[in-house]
Amino acid sequence: MVKTVEAPPEMSEMIERIETQYEEFFKNELKFIPEEGRIQLLDDNVMFIGLRTLALSLKDELDTVLGEAGRDLLIYRLGQSFGRSEAERLLPKLGLSTPVERIAAGPIWAAYSGFVRVRLLPGSNPVEGDEFFLVYDHPNNFEAQLWKKDGRSAQNNICYFNGGYSSGWCSVVAGVDLEAEEIMCEAAGDKECRFIMFPRTRRDEYMERIDEFKNI
Q: Give residue-wise pLDDT tens across range 32-69.
A: 999 999 999 998 999 998 999 989 999 999 999 999 99
- What are the residues facing 40 on neighbouring strands? 31, 45
Hey, is 154 helix, strand or coil?
A: coil
Phi, psi (5° rounding) for residue 52?
-60, -30
pLDDT score of 28: 96
* Cα 41 to Cα 44: distance, rounded to the nearest angstrom: 5
Integer angstrom CA distances of residue 207 from 3, 14, 204, 211, 212: 32, 31, 5, 9, 10
One-letter amino acid of 163: G
Phi, psi (5° rounding) for residue 132?
-60, 135
pLDDT score of 152: 93
Residues of the chain with pLDDT under 50: none
Integer angstrom CA distances of residue 126 from 104, 132, 188: 9, 5, 28
What is 9-214's CATH superfamily? Trafficking protein particle complex subunit 3 (3.30.1380.20)
